Amino acid sequence: MYLNPEGVQKLLDDMEKDCANIKKSALSLSWYMRGGASYEDILNMSSDERKHLTELINGNLETTKKSGLPFF
């Protein structure tokens, strides 16, 4: 595969954005886990594992909202 300099720069910019999003997501997930998984633990998870953990947290948030029980 050949990329011109602009293509290489776009690829690098996209990769930087992806890295920043992964880090932001890992920080949020580690906060929601309240010590159950550290930031490093979450960074070492696969993208599928992080996706499933996010779905679990969102499901629990929805259940909490419906039940009226405190979450935080």
- Contact between 32 and 57 under an 8 Å Cβ cutoff? The reply is yes
Residue-by-residue DSSP string for the chain = ----HHHHHHHHHHHHHHHHHHHHHHHHHHHHHTTSS-HHHHHTS-HHHHHHHHHHHHHHHHHHHHHT----
pTM above 0.85, yes or no: no
Whether residue 72 is predicted with pLDDT greater than 70 in this model: the reply is no
Instruction: Please tell me the predicted confidence (pLDDT) of residue 58.
Output: 94
Tallying the residues shown for the chain, one arrives at 72
Q: What is the largest CA-CA distance in the chain?
A: 56
Summarised one tens digit per residue, pLDDT across range 21-68 is 999 999 999 999 998 999 999 999 999 999 999 999 999 999 999 998
